Amino acid sequence: MTRQGEPVIVGALTRADAERCAELEAVSFEGDDPWPAMAFERELASAGNHYVGARSAGTLIGYAGIARLGRQPPYEYEVHTICVDAAYHGRGIGRRLLNELLDFANGGVVFLEVRTDNAAAIALYRSVGFEQIGLRRRYYRVSGADAFTMRRDPGGARL
Ligand SMILES: CC(C)(COP(=O)(O)OP(=O)(O)OC[C@H]1O[C@@H](n2cnc3c(N)ncnc32)[C@H](O)[C@@H]1OP(=O)(O)O)[C@@H](O)C(=O)NCCC(=O)NCCS
């Protein structure tokens, strides 16, 4: 259970959160190949990945992760996932999580893929300086939905 009046705290995501992530993922990405707990465990164990979680009253209500690509600088980065419990949408939590990922990228180029019909996520990404650079047809295997590739260059806008 979560309590709506509680402060939301953003911090490290750990292996112990994998099951809860999979729960949130199943609801938020239904029909789009949601990650099982094992996928989160793999992501958390992978060197160069950075994952953060948002908690309310001790319950995980959001998570986000980014990967650093390449073996030496200048690094590029790729947002792997970001998700907030629907009961907590529109309260600035997604923005806080994304800003944590951008802090990790430390001004490096960041890429991501987003469903072309995901207006909320696209607006969030644009607001921090991501721009659409490509269209990937049927990127999401199960639903067959298209994705935009977006890119944020060093010095992208930051709200
Ligand atoms: C995308 C997502 C993470 C946003 O999280 P959130 O906590 O609701 O977002 P925030 O409250 O931080 O809003 C940040 C910005 O996102 C945009 N935004 C959020 N909800 C929106 C909506 N319903 N319509 C349009 N823009 C929206 C706005 O630009 C907003 O900035 P503003 O409040 O200054 O206008 C959330 O909708 C989510 O988890 N969706 C399901 C999973 C998903 O689609 N993840 C992205 C995969 S690529």
Which protein residue has the closest C-alpha to ligand 1 atom 42? 83
CA-nearest of 89, 153, 146, 144 to 121 is 89
Omega before residue 74 within 30° of 0, cis:
yes
Which protein residue has the closest C-alpha to ligand 1 atom 43? 83
Q: Are 76 and 110 in contact (CB under 8 A)?
A: yes
3 state SS of 109: strand
Ligand 1 contact via 126 beta carbon (within 6 Å): no
Q: What is the pLDDT of residues 55-106, one digit of tens each?
A: 999 999 999 999 999 999 999 999 999 999 999 999 999 999 999 999 999 9
**Ligand 1 centre distance from Cα of residue 94 (Å):** 6
pLDDT of residue 1: 43
What is the average pLDDT value for the chain, to the nearest integer? 94
Ligand 1 contact via 94 beta carbon (within 6 Å): yes
The torsion defined by the Cα of 14, 16, 19 and 25, in degrees rounded to 10, comes to -20
Ligand 1 contact via 114 beta carbon (within 6 Å): yes
Exposure pattern of 115-135 as b/e (b: 16+ CB <10 Å)?
beeeeebbebbeebbbeeeee
User: Is the per-residue pLDDT at 4 higher than 90?
Assistant: no
User: Is the per-residue pLDDT at 3 higher than 80?
Assistant: no
pLDDT of residue 154: 83
3 state SS of 37: helix
pLDDT band at 2 (very low <50, low <70, confident <90, very high): very low
Which protein residue has the closest C-alpha to ligand 1 atom 18? 120
**Ligand 1 centre distance from Cα of residue 24 (Å):** 15
Closest atom of ligand 1 to 84 CA is 39
Domain at 8-152, CATH class: alpha beta
pTM: 0.95
Q: Which of 84, 97, 113, 149 to mutate to test the pocket of ligand 1 (most atoms within 8 A of CB)?
A: 84
